Amino acid sequence: MLCESDSLLQRILREHWPQVKTIALRSLPENVVESACINVEKALRCRTDECGFACFVCDACGAKHAVHFSCKSRLCPSCGKARAAEAATLAGSRLLNVEHQHLTYSVPSELRLLLFADRSLLAIVAKAAAMATIHAIGTRCKAYAPLPGVMATVHTYGRDLSWHVHVHVLVTRGGLRADGVWQPIKLFPAAQYRRLWQHHLLTLLRKRLKGLRGPCRMIGSLYRKYPTGFIVNVMSHYRSGRKAAAYCCRYTGRPPLSERRIIAYDGEIVTLAYTDYRDKIDKQLTLPAAKFLVRLLQHVWPRYMRDVHYYGLYQPARRKLHVDAVAKASRYSDQIRPALPISRRERLIIALSESPRKCPDCGGTLRFYELHLPTANQRHAKNQQTQDQRTYGQLALRV
């Protein structure tokens, strides 16, 4: 059977993770360290038998070969394509098949340290972006405020892996009015969104941090420092929910780093290539391997925290009722419903059966015939073992 060799990130992790673990325990929040340890273990197991594999047989020579699956870790760059495809499939089963607009909401630098120390505030950032979007669209009809569908995805990283919190928002280009009519929306004025984004974000943060004099004083000063509001960019628009899921989720579901951006590694120094979004110039960043890993690990999400949130017509508790109401209001009710979801196993079987492969022995055609996926009990046992190892490591450091 075939077994893929280590990726470049796996090599860096194997050589420097023991050293980086002690640094991360001191410089990152505890819940981030816990999740980082689990995700590093997943990344080290990437493309091994523990992650599952597909079996192929050659029609010409009868040889059997295995293709191992990636780990689906939030950290692993070699799994970026697979995780983005999974995110697009999930989004496609939730998004109405109507026009969507893509917007990005940026958090000012003064607030980023608060969000770094307390990751639970990231949910507030997503909620504020959704509230600003729903508020702005609600002003398009004074008699009946339209309610749009909003999907908000929080990113914490910039292109150079710096801590740069921003929100990608996919919103329907229209909303359902209280009288059952679908109200199309074509205009998305950035100035209005900037002021509303500032208002809702600072209001929610001040309410959450009530009683903390320093943060509340700093939050109050941001109204004066940014009189026109915080940065909001109006991006592309998509003609249907399926196109929005396919194109936008291609990068909203990706890990912080693509492995092809690691252009050099000599065992001690890592060099990254990136395009600076400020001046659109291609640049390089050179870091010691330990600092590179800490910079990457700071973007790992704590366990059980979500980076994707749904609001408005996409609110989970009422989504079915909202979908039925939008379908009733549309002349194309049979076309606007979300695509039916399929399981990971079904998606894998379809993809593996349709993708042609060549036999490395004779060049003949490989035919898919068997799928092996790890069971839930195996995954739980491995995660529990990783958690026990992390706890023991923390106790050893304290002693």
Q: What is the pLDDT of residues 155-187, one digit of tens each?
A: 999 989 999 999 999 999 999 999 999 999 998
Amino acid at 366: L
pTM for the model:
0.82
Distance, in Å, from the CA atom of 46 to the CA atom of 227, rounded to the nearest integer, reads 48
CB 364 within 8 A of CB 58: yes
CB 20 within 8 A of CB 37: no
Q: Which residue has the higher pLDDT, 361 or 331?
A: 361
| Local structure of residue 79 (DSSP, 8 states) | G
CB 296 within 8 A of CB 10: no
* Cα 227 to the center of its chain, rounded Å: 31
Q: What is the pLDDT of residues 103-113, one digit of tens each?
A: 999 999 999 99
Percent of the chain past pLDDT 90, that is, above it, reads 45
**Which tokens sit at 24?**
């991360």
Phi-psi label, residue 344: left if phi above 0, alpha if psi -120 to 50, beta otherwise:
alpha
Q: What is the pLDDT of residues 208-241, one digit of tens each?
A: 999 898 999 999 999 999 999 999 999 989 988 8
Task: Determine the longest span between alpha carbons in the chain, in angstroms.
Answer: 74
Give the dihedral of Cα atoms 208, 210, 214, 220; nearest 10 deg: 80
**Which of 273, 238, 263, 270 has the alpha carbon at shortest distance from 252?**
238
269-275 β-sheet, strand order:
262-265, 269-275, 282-288
CB 204 within 8 A of CB 124: yes
Amino acid at 142: K
Of the CA atoms within 13 Å of residue 142, those in its CB half-sphere come to 0
Distance, in Å, from the CA atom of 4 to the CA atom of 79, rounded to the nearest integer, reads 14
List, in sequence order, the alpha helices (H) in 175-303: 190-208, 213-225, 241-252, 289-297
pLDDT score at 205: 96
Which of 109-118, 269-278, 325-334, 388-397 has maximum average pLDDT?
109-118
Position 323 pLDDT exceeds 90: no
Q: Which residue has the higher pLDDT, 269 or 365?
A: 269
CB 224 within 8 A of CB 202: no
Distance, in Å, from the CA atom of 78 to the CA atom of 87, rounded to the nearest integer, reads 16
Q: Which residue has the higher pLDDT, 343 or 144?
A: 144
Instruction: Using DSSP, state whether 75 is helix, strand or coil.
Output: coil
Q: Where are the domains of the chain?
A: 24-75+344-398, 79-255+305-329
CB 100 within 8 A of CB 279: no
Q: What is the pLDDT of residues 56-104, one digit of tens each?
A: 888 888 888 887 777 777 777 666 666 667 777 778 788 898 999 999 9
Distance, in Å, from the CA atom of 196 to the CA atom of 278, rounded to the nearest integer, reads 24
